[in-house]
Chain A
Amino acid sequence: MVSIIKTEFYKMKRYSVIWIGVATMLTVVLLSRFMATASDGASHTLINFSSSVIWNNLVLIYPATITLIAGYIIDRERTDDTLKNILTIPVSFRKMLIGKLIAVGCMAIALSVIEFVFTIMVFFASSFPGFSVGVAVNVLLQMIGINLISYIAVMPIITFTAQRSGSFMPGVGFAFFYGFVGMMASGHGLRDLYPITAGLTLIGYQDGSGDPTGNIFLSIVSIFFMLVVTSILVSMARNREAKTIKKKKNNSGKMIHKRNHGAR
């Protein structure tokens, strides 16, 4: 298992999709900075600014980005036609999937650190008041925590779409919607029940307005539920393309179409 995860990191190094993750984080921080300009009058301490970054990241772009990255590196095995080699080693599809999920989890942490670095850079560049090392460490932990938990919340989407080639794009669209609804769920007292926003309670997120004390028990239950769903999906996971390709061998015309479709 360890070597599978290791190989995933080797592969990740080559993928440009990592830079998209980095660009996403930068854009989110800049967007938050822009919104801070828009809502002038309020003071922007490190806590306020980082809260705004965490919130924007969570409901706007992060669920879609992480689904995209995970979906891309899984689908890459198909487009590069290396899945057959992996399956004949033999590494089961399930094991590969688990390896990739763990690797993307590590990447979620890396992205959080990058998000934190950008936040601090923009924070100092705009010379906002209220920096202290203790708060900064707390912010870093919050970012790692919320990104990991919302990654767990989208894991079922990733595992579900991973099993069919090319289906991860609709999954990304859904994750985008899924994250966005978090904004409304959070505004109507469902913050702990809605998986995307459940982590906010666990990390002790303070948005200043609503009631900061959520129900920790409920949020743990909802995150745990997502983990259970993911593990059920993973335990049933297999490469569902195998059958259709076999069928398509009888029909060479369609097979060619399929190849081209996959080669994009």
Chain B
Amino acid sequence: MLKLIQCEMRKLKRKHFVSFVVFAALLFPIPFTTLVLAGSVGNFTGFEAVFGLLATMGMPIMLPAVLGIIAAMLFFMERDNDTLKNLRTIPVSPIKIATAKIAVLYILGLIFAVATMLSSMVGGLIAGSELTNIGENFGIAIITTLLYTTSILPVVIAIVGFNRSYIFSVILTFFYTMFDFMLAYGGMFATTDPMMRLLTSIMPAPIIYRWQATQFVDPGTPAYSVMEPYFLPLWLVVLTVVIIGGLSYLAIVRIYSKRES
């Protein structure tokens, strides 16, 4: 299994994708640091503000978008180069191949988390503050990354299932990311619509945000009192996301095994 993951990483290396992930992780800190320097982020200042913005706004957008593109590359690679038949004759079971590819997504996600963490520290230093709570924030970054990486798996089902062009997959990923994000930030705390309530309790981005809010919103502020009834404990969020991810994983493996067999 480890060897398979290694192989996948090597294949990705040809496409320079690790650097792409790091580059993507470094994009959002630039405007966010500017925002913090302009001094307009609630009660937080410096490093905490940059990191808070990154974890709640930067990651939900960038990570799924980037990982969606990478997932498309990973799963289409064998088709494009017609190497699936070679792998199958080694023999490597398609379940293992699919699992290795998903594992690579997680590894890249973690790289993204580290890059985010480092860039927010640099941003914090530029904003002229001390770096506090690094351990705790790093934990939040890692948990957020793992949750969002799992949240992209339903899209991977569609990417593998439809098996269409890159364009299709990218657009699909963007739509999913956007829809998910808009649910979390488009009036989730004000709506009374039952459909909307249901969706914001199932879709990954809203529930992840409902957990993140417990970390980033200060008690006592007006925002806190509005959001408080919506707070979710971490275990519930993890459970929901893991169920979504687990079902998606089974579907991906099933679809991938049926290919060319």
Q: Which A residues are within 8 Å of any B CB, using their own CB?
A: 16-17, 20, 23-24, 27, 31, 35, 37-40, 56, 60-61, 64-65, 68, 72, 169-170, 172-174, 176-177, 180-181, 184-185, 188, 260, 263-264
Contact = CB atoms under 8 A, between A and B. Distances in A.
Contacts of B193: 37-38, 40
Given A40-B191, A177-B27, A188-B38, 13 more contacts: A20-B171, A31-B178, A35-B187, A37-B195, A39-B190, A40-B192, A40-B193, A61-B175, A68-B170, A170-B20, A185-B31, A264-B76, A264-B166
A121 to B, nearest CB: 20
Contacts of B171: 20, 23-24, 65, 68
Q: Give the interface centre of B27, B28, B35, B192 by most chain A CB atoms within 10 Å.
A: B27
Contact of A181 (B31, B40, B165): B31
A123 B168 CA distance: 28
B170 A35 contact: no
B175 A27 contact: yes
Nearest to A185: B31
Nearest to A37: B193
B37 to A, nearest CB: 11
Nearest to A21: B171
A264 B61 CA distance: 27
Contacts of B35: 184, 188
A184 B38 CA distance: 12
Contact of A31 (B27, B167, B179): B179
Nearest to B17: A170
B236 interface: no
Contacts of A263: 80
Contacts of A23: 171
11 contacts: A23-B171, A31-B178, A37-B193, A56-B182, A61-B174, A65-B171, A173-B66, A177-B62, A188-B40, A260-B80, A264-B76
Contacts of B168: 20
Contacts of B186: 35, 38-39
Nearest to B76: A264
A158 B261 CA distance: 40
B62 to A, nearest CB: 7
A65 B168 CA distance: 11
A65 to B, nearest CB: 7
B24 interface: yes
A68 B69 CA distance: 13
- Those 4 A-B pairs whose CB atoms lie nearest each other, nearest first: A264-B80, A39-B187, A38-B196, A60-B178
B59 interface: no
A31 B28 CA distance: 24
Interface in B158-172: 165-168, 170-171
A37 B196 contact: yes
Contacts of A170: 20, 23
B141 interface: no
B28 A177 contact: yes
A23 B172 CA distance: 11
Contacts of A169: 69, 166, 170
A150 to B, nearest CB: 16
B65 interface: yes
Interface string B178-221: 11001000111011110110000000000000000000000000
B133 interface: no
B170 A180 contact: no
Contacts of A65: 171
Contacts of B175: 27, 61
Nearest to A35: B186
B191 A39 contact: yes
A40 B186 CA distance: 12
Contacts of B80: 260, 263-264
B180 to A, nearest CB: 11
B81 interface: yes
Contacts of B38: 188
B182 A35 contact: yes
Contacts of A35: 182, 186-187
Contact of B174 (A64, A185, A188, A264): A64
A181 B33 CA distance: 13
Nearest to B188: A38
Contacts of B81: 260
Contacts of B188: 38
Interface in B64-80: 65-66, 69, 76, 80
